[in-house]
A and B are shown apart, each in its own frame.
Chain A
Amino acid sequence: MDQFTISPSSGVPIYKQLFSQIERMILNGYFVPDDILPSVRQVAADLEVNPMTVSKAYGLLEERGYLTRLRGKGMIVAKRDDEVSAREKLTTLSRTIENLIADAHLMGVSQQQLLTLFKQQITASSREIANNDNKE
């Protein structure tokens, strides 16, 4: 089971790294409703981290409605409201965008330049996606 990866020396606490990773995996459909997540003990042993950390991540995911605890089975992916999912996806992405804007600012890249760069990338990406679709 090599699904999750964490970086222990990162400034981001391990539980947060796990939370974000699993959140993403649920939002992009890698995990679907009713999927059973591996046990805390299993994940802790595989990642070589304190099981309390894994518990914390799972607990937070449960709090946010991503997971439900099922007696005897463990944590399963909860069914979610489509509208809520869509909103969450946008929230996650806007965090990424916020970091991008901050980085650009630190580098002295203007917002205009950033916007131009962004448009260029989107055009390039859609071309690549279209090419890949044509190949199939």
Chain B
Amino acid sequence: MTVVIKIEALNKAYKNHQVLNNLHWEINQGDIVGLLGKNGAGKSTLLKGLLNLCDIDGGTITLFGEDHLNLSAQTKGLIGYVPQENDEISWLSVSDLIKFRKQFYTTWCDEKVHQLVKRWNIDLTKKIAELSPGQVQRVLIILALASKPALIIFDEPAAALDPEGRRDFLKEIIALASEEHITIIFSTHITSDLERVANKVAILEQGHICYFDDLDTTKENVVQLVISHKIDEKITVPYVLRSKQHPKYLQCVVSQLDPNWLSTMKNQGVEIHVTPMGLEDIFLELTA
């Protein structure tokens, strides 16, 4: 398993606020990672810091084994990035911007650009400043995908897109995922998009990655339990996140389902009903 991104002890503060605090994170080739976090948690800061688009206060970051401050030109060519805001030159026309960007890459797929421009009805003659926010986002996505990157980082890529645009964007990601070994990170609030496309989910909270696991495993672990038991019986639930006692049963949410505990309970005649949860609810439980 090749490690594509390795972050150790990352620190970043803005004024007096410690945004990223001793953050550790490791991403393998082929991972499609969804990054979740509350507003202001520092997702953009983390992604920008990773790409050296903003300074970090401490820690080490390596991309494809190279120090992120000293990436070779070849490695830089492997990385695509779609920011949340448009930092692109607004006074250039779309076609000129594409021509401009193309110069920096050794691999560039004109057909891909053409295909997406056509599909998304982008007027190549318009200046970036004249496009709607949705169209701008689409152009940014095209620019990132055109160079056939091995690592793509999206910062809230679908924020400005309407549902149809989002679906289209997801289709592109899925097509990318079909191609071998590409690594994708995207931060988003739209958990259903993540649920379709990501195989790993990470949660940024209190300045560090407080949770990072396989998405399927997460859905199998973070579950709701309804435990029916006799009123005087005291039941201890391992890995409990929160619980509420009702007259006839105990309702709780756990971060992990212990199979040994489960079978012990069953042997004691305690009835346990397991209800899985969607990612949005899981996120709320883990960050409560």
The interface of chain A, by Cβ under 8 A from chain B, is: 8-16, 41, 44-45, 48-53, 56, 102, 105-106
Contacts and interface: CB of A to CB of B under 8 A. Distances in A.
Given A11-B219, A50-B174, 9 more contacts: A9-B191, A9-B280, A16-B216, A45-B171, A48-B196, A49-B174, A52-B177, A102-B273, A106-B273
B96 interface: no
Contacts of A10: 276, 278
A94 to B, nearest CB: 16
CB-CB nearest 9 A-B residue pairs: A11-B276, A13-B216, A8-B195, A9-B278, A11-B277, A102-B273, A8-B196, A13-B219, A9-B192
B175 interface: yes
Contacts of B175: 45
B287 interface: no
Contacts of A11: 219, 223, 275-278, 281
B219 A45 contact: no
With most chain B CB atoms within 10 A of its CB, the pick from A10, A13, A14 is A13
23 contacts: A8-B192, A8-B196, A9-B192, A9-B278, A11-B277, A11-B281, A13-B215, A13-B220, A14-B196, A15-B216, A44-B177, A45-B174, A48-B170, A49-B196, A50-B174, A50-B196, A50-B198, A50-B199, A51-B177, A52-B199, A53-B199, A56-B216, A105-B271
Given A13-B215, A50-B174, A105 B228 contact: yes
Given A11-B278, A50-B198, A106-B273, A44 B220 contact: no
Dominant secondary structure at the A interface: helix
A106 B226 contact: yes
Interface residues of B, number: 32
Interface string B9-50: 000000000000000000000001000000000000000000
Given A48-B174, A51-B174, A14 B277 contact: no
Contacts of A41: 178
B167 interface: yes
Contacts of B197: 49-50
Given A8-B196, A11-B223, A44 B273 contact: no
Contacts of A106: 226, 249, 273
B279 interface: yes
Contacts of B174: 44-45, 48-51
A102 B198 CA distance: 32
Contacts of B198: 50
A53 B219 CA distance: 14
Contacts of B171: 45, 48
